[in-house]
């Protein structure tokens, strides 16, 4: 059995302070810019999510840590 800790995982995201990690779970918080119109907020958040997921995939591949997309959830709170 191997225990691997990736203390630097949050650093691969655009806003590391909005990353919450515990054991093998990662939660990312995306906070929209209030001055933007709703349609612009959606576009900006979608861009951030896509960029962050690409960076996470690159990080996982670099460290040979497979991701399980079946455990991935997208939850919207408003």
Q: List the one residue out of 15, 22, 8 whose CA is nearest residue 47.
A: 15
pTM: 0.78
Are the C-beta atoms of 1 and 60 separated by less than 8 Å?
A: no
Region for 63 from its dihedrals, namely left if φ exceeds 0, alpha if ψ lies in -120 to 50, beta otherwise: alpha
pLDDT at 72: 82
For the chain (78 residues), the mean pLDDT of every run of 10, in chain order, is 72 89 84 88 91 92 86 79
């Amino acid at each position: 059995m191997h225990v691997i800790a990736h203390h630097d995982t949050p650093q691969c995201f655009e806003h590391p302070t909005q990353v919450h990690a515990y054991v093998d779970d990662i939660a990312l918080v995306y906070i929209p810019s209030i001055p933007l119109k709703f349609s612009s907020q959606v576009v900006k958040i979608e861009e951030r999510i896509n960029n962050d997921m690409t960076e996470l995939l690159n990080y996982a591949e670099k460290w040979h840590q497979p991701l399980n997309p079946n455990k991935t959830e997208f939850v919207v709170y408003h």
